[in-house]
Structure 1
Amino acid sequence: MKSRRTFLKQMGVVSAGLPLVGPQLFSFNPQQSPANEKVLRVALMGLGGYAKRVAEAMKDCKRAKVTGLISGTPEKLKEWGALYNVPEKNRYNYQNFDSIKNNPDIDAVYVITPNSLHHNHTIRAARAGKHVICEKPMAISVKEGQEMVEACKKAGVHLLVGYRMRFEPHTLEAVRMRKEGELGAIKFFQGLSGFRIGNPNQWRLNKELAGGGALMDIGIYAINGCRYMVGEEPIWVTAQETKTDPVKFKAGVDETILFQFGFKSGATASCLSTYNMNYLDRFFLNGERGFIEMQPATGYGPIRARSNKGEINAPVVVHQTVQIDEMAAIILDGKKPEIPVDGEVGLQDLRIIEAIYKAVETGKKIPL
C-alpha cells in the first residue's frame, strides 16, 4: 500500500497533510434519537487535521457514525481504525477505494482531501454508488464542479457540500430574522474572512493542490455567507488583489483580495479574503430597519451575534456534529434543510470565485 505522500507525488503535487487544529471550545448536548431511525454510515477520506475534528465530533452524532477510512498512509489507517473501531476490511487506500461499492457497511464518503482532488474522489465515490459529502470549495473550477454534480445525479446519489455554518443556530436565527422582515429591505453586507497562514510549504499555498490561495480557502466563507445572509445571488462582481509577499504567495496563489458584489434588489456587499491578517471573522448585515453583526461569524466556536435589538442567544453547538446529523437526515429521510447545502450551491460558489479572479485580472465589473 502506497503512502498518501507517495500517491500525491505521483500526481505531481506535494504532500496533502493538514495541520492539526486546537481543542473544541464549546459543548453540545444532542437529544437521543428514536432507536428505529436509520444511521448514516460514513467513510472518511483524507485523514488529516480537519478529518480528525470531524471524526471526534461524530462520536456525538445520533444519525451517523464512522464506519470506513480512506488514506494513503498505512500507519494512519491502522491508528484511526483502532481509535474509531473501524475494521480492517473497511479501510482503503486511494488506489483500491473503488471497491467500496461492494461494502454494505458504507453509505457515504466524506471527501476531506485537498481541493484539486475533490473532483476525482467525488466521481469515483459516486460511481461506487455511495453518497458524497465534499469539503468546500467543492472543486477548483466550474467545469469540474459541473461534472461532479452530473456524476452524482447519474449515479442517483446525494452530493452535499461541507457548509457547516448553514446548520449553525446563530446563523439560522440571523437568516430567520432577515427572511421575516425584521431588518426591512437589505441594503449592505460586509464579510471579513482571514488569518495569517503559517508553513509556506503546506498544500494550501500550492496552486496545483489548492486551485488558488486565500479565496479558495478562508474566502469562501465570505462568499457563501454573503449569499445566505443577503438572501440573493449577486449579479456582478468587482475585485482588487494585494500581494505583499510574492515569495510565499507565488503566481496564482492570492494573498489578499477585496471584492464587491451587487444584487438585483440594489443591495451591495464588500468582502475581504486574506492569508495575511488575523482577527478577521466578521459579518455585518444592514437593513432599512435594523442590523445583524456576527463576530466570530464562521470560526469553530462559539459564534456570537447581535442585532439592533440586542444579543442573539442561540444554542452553542459542535458545528460538525450538527452538520453530519442534519446531512444524515437529508440523505436518509429526504429532509429539506433551512438553507440548502447541495452540489448546486457549491457550483454557484465556484462561478462566483471564477468571476472574482477574472475581475482581479481584468480590472472590470464582471456580470454573474
Structure 2
Amino acid sequence: MFDTTLSAASDRDWDTGAVEDPVRIAIVGCGNYARSVSIPAMVAGTYATPTVAVSGAPDTRASLADEFGLTSIDYDAYEAGAATDEYDAVYVATPNRLHLPHVETAARHGKHVICEKPLEATVERAERLVAACADADVRLMTAYRMQTDPVVRRLREFVAGGGIGDFQRAVGDFTFPVLGGDAGPDQWRLDGHLAGGGALYDVGVYPLNTARFVAGDDPTAVSATTRSPDPAFDEVDQHVDFRVEFGGEDGWVGNFSASFSGHFNTELEFLGTDGRVAVRSAFEPGADREVTVETPDGTLELAEAGADETVAEFDYFAHAVATGADVEPDGADGLVDMRTLAAVQASAATGDRVEL
C-alpha cells in the first residue's frame, strides 16, 4: 500500500548530503510570492542561501535588506554585473515575458538559473531562454516545486510499481481567485502581453506538469475551451478546461481545469485499472496533503502528509548545482509544457483538437 511506500522511502531520495557550502542565490523579481514563500524557503533550507535581491522598488529593496540581510540592487545594476561575486545562481521570479532577458543576463554572468514556471510568455521566447543557458553551459531548472514534494515523489513510485494498475485517467483542478484579498485588476497576471495566458499559464500548468511527472508521459494531443465572462479578464483566460491525450490511441487522458475566480481549490486524482489515488490540497504551497488510496487491498486515507516542498525545491536545485547531479524539471521539461499550453490556446481559439 501507499503508506508503506511513503514511510519506507526517504523524503529526499535525491539528497546525497555531499554539499560543503550553501549555493548563494540572487532573487530577481521580489513580488509577493518571492518575498513570502521563496526567500523564507531558502532561509529554512540546508543547501541554498539568499544573498542578493534584485527589485525595481526601493522600499522592497530596503525591506529585504533589513529582514534578511540581503545585498539589494536594481535591475540596471543586475544587468551591469553588480554584486556578481555575491551569488552563484539566480532565481528568476519576474512576470513571464521578462524571464528571457533576466535569464540571459544570468547566463552571460555565468550563473546557474532556477526560473519560475511557465518558462516564458511564448514558446519561441522559452526556446531562446533554454538556448541561452545551454550556450553559456549553466544549469537551468524550471521551478516545478511539486516535483520535489515528498508525497508526489512517493506517489510516482507507487504508480510506477503498479499500485493502481495501468493508467486510465487523471483529473486535476487549480482554482485561484486572483482578485481576492487586496489584489485588484491592475496586476501583471491580467496583462496578456506580460503573462502570455491567464489561469492556464499561471495555475493550469500545475495539474498538467504534476500528472506528467507522476506518469512519466508527455502529451500527444489536446482539446480545450476557455471562458472570460468578467471584463477584468479581457486579455487572459479566466477559466480553462482542457483534455490532454498521452500515449496515443492506447494511452490515457488527463482532464484538467484552472480558474482565476471561484472558491480556492487544488486537487489531483489518478484512476487506473486496479485502483485510484486522490490528493486534496494538492498544489497549495507548504500545505499538508490529504491522500486517499483505493486498491483491491482496501482504502487508505492519510492526513497531514508531506513537507514544505518549496524548501525542498531550492535545496534540490542547490544540491544539483553543487554536485553536478541531473535536474529532472530542466529546460526541456519546461518546453514540453510551453508547447502544450500553446496548443491548448490554439484549440480553444479554433475549437479543433491539436496534435503535438
The TM-score normalised by the length of structure 1 is 0.85
Which residue in the other structure is 2:289 paired with? 303
Q: Which has the higher helix share?
A: 2
Q: Structure 2, unaligned stretches of length 5 or more?
A: 1-10
The alignment-based identity, stated in percent, is 30
Q: CA deviation at 1:312?
A: 4.6
Whether the aligned pair in 2 keeps the contact of 1:192 and 1:272 (CA below 8 Å) is: yes
Q: 2:343 aligns with which of 322, 337, 355?
A: 355
- Structure 1 stretches of 4+ moved >6 Å: 32-36
Q: CA deviation at 1:78?
A: 2.0
Whether the aligned pair in 2 keeps the contact of 1:259 and 1:270 (CA below 8 Å) is: yes
Q: Structure 1, unaligned stretches of length 5 or more?
A: 1-28
C-alpha distance in 1, partners of 2:329/2:115?
10
Which residue in the other structure is 2:355 paired with? 367
Whether the aligned pair in 2 keeps the contact of 1:229 and 1:285 (CA below 8 Å) is: no
Which residue in the other structure is 1:225 paired with? 210
- Deviation per residue, 1:224-270 (Å, 9 max, x gap): 1221233211111000122221x1111x4101111101122421111
Q: CA deviation at 1:125?
A: 1.1
Q: AA paired with 1:58?
A: M
Q: 1:57 to 1:125 in 2, by over 3 A?
A: same
The TM-score normalised by the length of structure 2 is 0.88
- Deviation per residue, 1:124-182 (Å, 9 max, x gap): 11111111111111101111111111100111101111111101111111111111111
Which residue in the other structure is 1:130 paired with? 111
Which residue in the other structure is 1:61 paired with? 45
Q: CA deviation at 1:303?
A: 1.8
C-alpha distance in 1, partners of 2:227/2:353?
18
Q: 1:243 to 1:74 in 2, by over 3 A?
A: closer
1:298 counterpart SS class: coil
1:189 counterpart SS class: strand
Q: Which has the higher strand share?
A: 2
- Deviation per residue, 1:329-353 (Å, 9 max, x gap): 111112235xx11111111110000
Q: AA paired with 1:282?
A: E
C-alpha distance in 2, partners of 1:315/1:99?
45
Stretch moving more, 288-297 or 99-108: 99-108
C-alpha distance in 2, partners of 1:222/1:139?
18
Which residue in the other structure is 2:333 paired with? 345
Q: CA deviation at 1:102?
A: 6.6
Whether the aligned pair in 1 keeps the contact of 2:174 and 2:267 (CA below 8 Å) is: yes
- Deviation per residue, 1:82-107 (Å, 9 max, x gap): 21122xxx432111213437722210
Which residue in the other structure is 1:208 paired with? 193
Q: 1:242 to 1:126 in 2, by over 3 A?
A: same
2:219 counterpart SS class: coil
Whether the aligned pair in 2 keeps the contact of 1:164 and 1:319 (CA below 8 Å) is: yes
Which residue in the other structure is 1:173 paired with? 154
1:317 counterpart SS class: coil
